[in-house]
Amino acid sequence: MIKEAARLICESKHLCAFTGAGISVESGIPPFRGPGGLWNSYNPDFIEINHFYRYPTESWQLIKEIFYDFFGQASPNAAHIALANLEKMGLLKAIITQNIDNLHQTAGSTVVHEFHGTLSHLVCLDCHKRFRLDQIDMTNLPPECPECVVGLIKPDFIFFGEDIPEPARSNSLAEARNADVMIVVGTTGEVMPACTLPYLAQEKGARIIEVNIAPSAYTGAITDIFLQGPATAMLKNLVAEVEAITLPA
Ligand code: ZN
């Protein structure tokens, strides 16, 4: 199966990856849903947009604790690195990720469409200026806008009650339509509307390679090759097989 997947990858013209929380679990980042998920320990209200406007200080205390102090410690794992290597080999054209942790970029991937936004930037809801994380002082919460001072600063990832950000949405849809092979990694396929992207790709003719620890909504429906196991081991093996095909003996 892994050899067959590697062959599909080597023959692809527009290979794209679609990743979810499962790829970052081995970096110590918990998923939001399911066993051990964040929403088992926290009420997600603090990242609901209207609640955030009403209670910015309380919301920011949790945002800083969970997303910056805790997630900020994480490093890319072998699965992120394997995808970065596939890009360097000229095979992987883009990653669409549901994750906000920036680990694909830290691993070296350069074309990453962040469907749910990112922790690595923040925006001012008043003057709409966008900032890098290192430009924001989190000593006092909520942090002050370095530009207009009075505006409310929000992490540039999607809160409940917000729309999918542009241009990530359009770029992701275009990638899904153009893909002839899509590697789906670490996602159960339940979060709307992100979960529809592999279906769109398959509808447009893409072959689907799925890497998941357990069967997902995709497995029996659209997956052509199911590689069951942890993302790190499976992607490492997959890239090794790809190398065996592409590199001269
Ligand atoms: Zn501002």
pLDDT in tens, 21-44: 999 999 999 888 877 888 888 999
Using DSSP's 3-state secondary structure scheme, residue 50 falls into helix
CA 214/CA 187 separation, integer angstroms: 10
Q: In angstroms, what is the span from residue 127 Cα to ligand 1's centroid?
A: 4
Q: Which residues have their alpha-adjacent CB atom under 5 A from ion ligand 1?
A: 124, 126-127, 145, 147-148, 151
Instruction: Say if residues 29 and 71 touch (Cβ distance below 8 Å).
Output: yes
Q: How far is the CA of 50 from the centre of ligand 1 (A)?
A: 18
Length of the chain in terms of residues written: 249
Q: What pairing do the DSSP bridges indicate for beta strands 225-228 and 207-212?
A: parallel
Instruction: Catalogue the active-site residues.
Output: 116
**How far apart are the C-alpha atoms of 241 and 243, rounded to whole Å?**
5
Kindly report the average pLDDT of the chain as a whole number.
95
Q: What is the pLDDT of residues 43-91, one digit of tens each?
A: 999 999 999 999 999 999 999 999 999 888 899 999 999 999 999 999 9
- Say if residue 198 is preceded by a cis peptide, omega within 30 of 0: no
In the reported structure, the alpha carbon of residue 194 is separated from the centroid of ligand 1 by a whole-number distance in angstroms of: 30
The pLDDT of residue 133 is: 96
Q: Which domains does the chain carry?
A: 1-27+75-116+164-249 (3.40.50.1220), 30-73+118-157 (3.30.1600.10)
Residue 110 corresponds to which tokens in the numbers above?
Answer: 């350069």
CA of 66 to the centre of ligand 1 (A): 24
> For residue 4, what are the contacts with CB-CB under 8 A and spacing of at least 6?
225
Q: How many angstroms separate the CA atoms of 218 and 162, rounded?
A: 26
